[in-house]
Amino acid sequence: MDIAELIDLSNIKVISTTKNNRNHLIITIETTELSVACHTCGKQLTQQHGYDRERKLRHLPVFGKQTTIVYKPHRYICENCDNHPTTTATPDWHKRDSSDTIAPISATDISTLPNQFSKRKRSLWLIDIMSLNCIVVSLINIGKRY
């Protein structure tokens, strides 16, 4: 099993893996999508036109280590629209303007999740594994008097 299978993100190629000085895992990837819809006309674009700025996203822990995914999204140019605008591809595992990935449950070590949230006093974190392979983390305040 390679690291791409462990992080379980669609349409990627792992370029490198490193650890930083805090022992966090840094995984640099390249997306492999073949097209994106033009944000102006909706036509499927296949002509790549460079990259957008680098993104650094928090990912679920791998082997109990904090993990960051680093990538530069492809930009595509639309020859159909006036002024030939570019559209930046957004992978299905990255919600635009979010600093986190949207990862399936198989990409993490579940045993590390409760420890991440244990700092919250008087709270109980529940982890529900849904049939869609997503994690839903719910906070239930206990012992709080109203």
Do 61 and 3 contact (CB within 8 A), yes or no?
Answer: no
Provide the token pair at 131. Answer: 């049939």
Using a cut of 0.75, tell me whether the model's pTM lies above it: no
Q: Please give the average per-residue pLDDT across 108-121, as a whole number.
A: 47
Tell me, yes or no, whether 53 lies in a domain.
yes
Domain count, the chain: 1
Q: From the CA atom positions of the chain, what is the Rg in Å?
A: 19
Signed CA dihedral, 4, 25, 66, 62: sign only: positive
Tell me, yes or no, whether 135 lies in a domain.
no
Tell me, yes or no, whether 13 lies in a domain.
yes
Q: Please give the average per-residue pLDDT across 45-71, as a whole number.
A: 92
Question: Which structural domain, as residue segments, surrounds residue 21?
Answer: 3-102
Lowest mean pLDDT among 64-68, 82-86, 133-137: 133-137
Task: Spell out the residues 6+ positions from residue 128 whose beta carbon is closer than 8 angstroms to its own.
Answer: 135, 136, 138
Tell me, yes or no, whether 129 lies in a domain.
no
Q: What pLDDT band is residue 63 in, cutting at 50, 70 and 90?
A: confident
pLDDT in the model for residue 125? 37
pLDDT in the model for residue 61? 86
Render 112-135 in DSSP notation, one character per residue: GHHHHHTTSTTEEEEEEE-TTS-E
pLDDT in the model for residue 115? 52
Tell me, yes or no, whether 74 lies in a domain.
yes
pLDDT in the model for residue 69? 95
For 82-104, the pLDDT digits (tens) are 999 999 999 999 888 888 888 55
